[in-house]
């Protein structure tokens, strides 16, 4: 990795929080939300519970004071009131017994009230007492709020401490558990960074990557990365093969083109130096044209081979018979003195590289006519267990059995009065291999040669 790339990675790391940090923040935020909801309920419940308890004490004290109405005097009231509480008994508006200070007169009910600077919970009840002036008696009792408020404050402070502790504990646990959870990912990152450019599938670094365990996501990611590296290996292998092919093309092209180019240079020097007569000049010009045609043919064949090796290998499923029908129609137009027909099945569906197969059949027909001197060529397609087979039969002079395998190699030429590039059958063999099949030469029932190109699945 270059320094610039390393700096960019470090810059991204500085800007982007880690997965562990994200997990911790998410867990903490979730805990804060839950604690806030539960705390709000508990906060209200503490106040409600404390005042419910206070009201129960007020009710108890009020019920205890009601028997004193029959003997309403200050001594009786004072002994019946709990410490710190106040009570006052009234008949109508007249106070007949009370603690000091008395509870101010008020309507029946429960309320909070400040008496001599102290907050009280006050409850006033009415009792219809027929023994005392047949009047309406009221009892007012008051209990200080200080203890209740202090207890509420203490409980709420404890609630706050508990909530804060829960949030902190959740953050710490999330940090620790997040560290355990991302440990396989960190191991995966370290092992991936350790993989060298030339590390193969069996290298220790790749083996260590394949053995990553600890979390399903890390294992899935390790498997995905291993599959990606296998694809990279395959692409690198194909690239290396393509580069080797390109170097091979450059070498053989230079070798094959050197001879005609040298001959052309010699002819040009003769024309320039010796001033030959018209007949010799015409012969030299003819040699130049033939050499030029040979160079053009060789370059075209090399270009076709290069396209096959370096070009696309995507196959599409189509009817091979339709493709061959177009090839036969065009071949008849180019070779009017030769009978070229289509035979075989009416329809054969197979996965093919259309341009590649078309080029291979074109070359087969051209070889049969030019080098085999055929006057009849039959092109056919037949279904096969693994795909299809394309057969080209001719009635030409045939190819000796000893030469058949050799002619599929590049720049190998047979016994023909027409010079060629020596790449026609090599191109056919290449296309057969790209179609997962083979190309073979056998005797034809028509008397010449049969070329069979198989197409695999």
pLDDT score recorded for residue 297: 64
User: Contact at 8 Å (CB) between 348 and 381?
Assistant: yes
How confident is residue 427, by pLDDT bands cut at 50, 70 and 90?
confident
How confident is residue 64, by pLDDT bands cut at 50, 70 and 90?
confident
439: pLDDT strictly greater than 60:
yes
Tokens of 144: 């200080």
How confident is residue 450, by pLDDT bands cut at 50, 70 and 90?
very high
Q: Which of 67-76, 176-185, 381-390 has the lowest mean pLDDT?
A: 67-76
Measured CA to CA, the distance from residue 67 to residue 207 in angstroms comes to 93
Task: Name which residue leads in pLDDT, 287 or 156.
Answer: 156
| Digit-coded pLDDT (tens) for 95-150 | 888 888 888 988 889 999 999 999 999 999 887 654 544 557 888 999 999 999 99
The percentage of residues in the chain with a pLDDT greater than 70, rounded to a whole number, is: 75
SS3 sequence, 112-176? EEEECCEEEEEEEEEEEECCCCCEEEEEEEEEECHHHHHHHHHHHHHHHHHHHHHHHHHHHHHHH
User: Contact at 8 Å (CB) between 212 and 218?
Assistant: yes
How confident is residue 303, by pLDDT bands cut at 50, 70 and 90?
low
Measured CA to CA, the distance from residue 128 to residue 74 in angstroms comes to 20
| Digit-coded pLDDT (tens) for 325-345 | 999 999 998 889 899 999 989
Measured CA to CA, the distance from residue 223 to residue 237 in angstroms comes to 21
| Digit-coded pLDDT (tens) for 39-51 | 999 999 999 999 9
pTM listed for this prediction: 0.47
394: pLDDT strictly greater than 90:
yes
Tokens of 270: 């003769």
The percentage of residues in the chain with a pLDDT greater than 90, rounded to a whole number, is: 30
Other Cβ atoms closer than 10 A to 118: 14
Output phi, psi for 113, to 5 deg: -150, 145
| Digit-coded pLDDT (tens) for 159-175 | 999 999 999 999 999 89
How confident is residue 414, by pLDDT bands cut at 50, 70 and 90?
low
Among 82-96, 336-350, 426-440, name the most confident range. 336-350
Ordered by where they begin, the domains of the chain are 69-145 (no CATH), 197-309 (no CATH), 312-455 (3.30.565.10)
What is the average pLDDT score of the chain? 80
pLDDT score recorded for residue 52: 92
Tell which residue, 408, 456, 410, has the closest CA to residue 429. 408
Residue 101 DSSP label: S
pLDDT score recorded for residue 132: 46
Task: Name which residue leads in pLDDT, 312 or 254.
Answer: 254
Cross-sheet strand order for the sheet of 135-144: 94-98, 86-91, 135-144, 118-129, 109-115
């Amino acid at each position: 990795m270059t320094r610039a790339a390393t700096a960019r990675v470090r810059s991204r790391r500085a800007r982007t929080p880690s997965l562990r940090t994200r997990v911790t923040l998410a867990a903490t935020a979730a805990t804060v939300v839950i604690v806030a909801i539960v705390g709000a309920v508990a906060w209200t419940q503490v106040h409600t519970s404390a005042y419910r308890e206070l009201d129960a004490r007020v009710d108890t004290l009020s019920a205890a004071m009601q028997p004193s109405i029959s003997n309403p005097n200050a001594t009786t009231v004072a002994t019946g009131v709990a410490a710190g509480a106040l009570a006052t008994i009234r008949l109508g508006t007249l106070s007949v017994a009370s603690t000091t200070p008395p509870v101010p007169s008020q309507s029946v009910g429960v309320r909070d009230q400040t008496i001599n600077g102290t907050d009280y919970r006050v409850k006033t009840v009415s009792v219809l007492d027929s023994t005392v002036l047949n009047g309406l008696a009221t009892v007012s009792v008051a209990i200080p709020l200080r203890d209740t408020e202090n207890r509420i404050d203490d409980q709420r402070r404890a609630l706050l401490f508990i909530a804060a502790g829960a949030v902190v504990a959740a953050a710490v646990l999330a940090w620790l558990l997040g560290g355990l959870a991302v440990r396989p990912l960190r191991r995966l990152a370290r092992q991936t960074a350790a993989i060298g450019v030339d590390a193969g599938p069996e290298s220790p670094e790749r083996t260590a990557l394949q053995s990553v365990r600890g979390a399903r996501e890390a294992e899935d990611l390790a498997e995905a990365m291993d599959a990606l590296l296998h694809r990279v290996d395959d692409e690198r292998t194909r690239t290396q093969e393509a580069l080797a092919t390109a170097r091979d093309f450059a070498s053989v092209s230079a070798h094959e083109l050197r001879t005609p180019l040298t001959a052309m240079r010699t002819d040009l020097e003769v024309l320039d130096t010796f001033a030959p007569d018209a007949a010799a000049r015409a012969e030299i010009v003819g040699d130049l044209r033939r050499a030029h045609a040979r160079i053009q043919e060789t370059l075209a064949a090399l270009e076709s081979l290069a396209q096959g090796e370096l070009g696309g290998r995507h196959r599409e499923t189509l009817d091979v018979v339709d493709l061959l029908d177009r090839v036969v129609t065009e071949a008849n137009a180019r070779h009017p003195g030769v009978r070229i027909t289509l035979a075989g099945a009416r329809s054969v569906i197979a996965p093919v590289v259309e341009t590649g197969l078309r080029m291979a059949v074109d070359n087969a027909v051209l070889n049969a006519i030019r080098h085999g001197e055929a006057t009849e060529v039959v092109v056919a397609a037949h279904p096969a267990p693994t795909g299809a087979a394309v057969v080209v039969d001719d009635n030409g002079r045939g190819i000796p059995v000893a030469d058949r395998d050799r002619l599929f190699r590049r720049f190998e030429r047979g016994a023909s009065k027409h010079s060629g590039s020596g790449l026609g059958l090599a191109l056919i063999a290449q296309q057969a291999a790209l179609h997962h099949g083979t190309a073979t030469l056998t005797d034809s029932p028509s008397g010449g040669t049969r070329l069979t190109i198989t197409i695999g699945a």
